[in-house]
Amino acid sequence: MTTAIRYYTQTGNTKKLADAIAEATGVKAEDVSVPLNGYTDVLFLGSSVYAAGIDPKVREFISTLKPENVGKVVCFSTAALLPSTYRQVSGLLKKQGVAVSEKEFHCRGRFLQVHKDRPNAQDIEAVKQFAEEVLK
Ligand X SMILES: Cc1cc2nc3c(=O)[nH]c(=O)nc-3n(C[C@H](O)[C@H](O)[C@H](O)COP(=O)(O)O)c2cc1C
Nearer to ligand X, 29 or 41 (CB): 29
Stretch that binds ligand X, among 3-11, 36-44, 94-102, 122-130 (CB under 6 A): 3-11
Give bridge partners of residue 47 from the DSSP assignment: 77
Grouping H, G, I as helix, E, B as strand and the rest as coil, residue 66 is coil
Burial letters 25-42, b for 16+ CB under 10 A, else e: bebebeebeeebeeebeb
Cβ-contact 32, 85 below 8 angstroms: no
Q: C-beta of 22: minimal distance to ligand X in Å?
A: 15
Q: Which of 21, 92, 109, 123 binds ligand X (CB under 6 A)?
A: 109
Q: Which of 4, 5, 14, 29 binds ligand X (CB under 6 A)?
A: 14
* Cα–Cα distance for residue pair 11/121, rounded to 1 Å: 18
Site string for ligand X, 16-45 (x = CB under 6 A): ------------------------------
Return residues touching ligand X (CB under 6 A).
9-14, 48-52, 78-82, 109-111
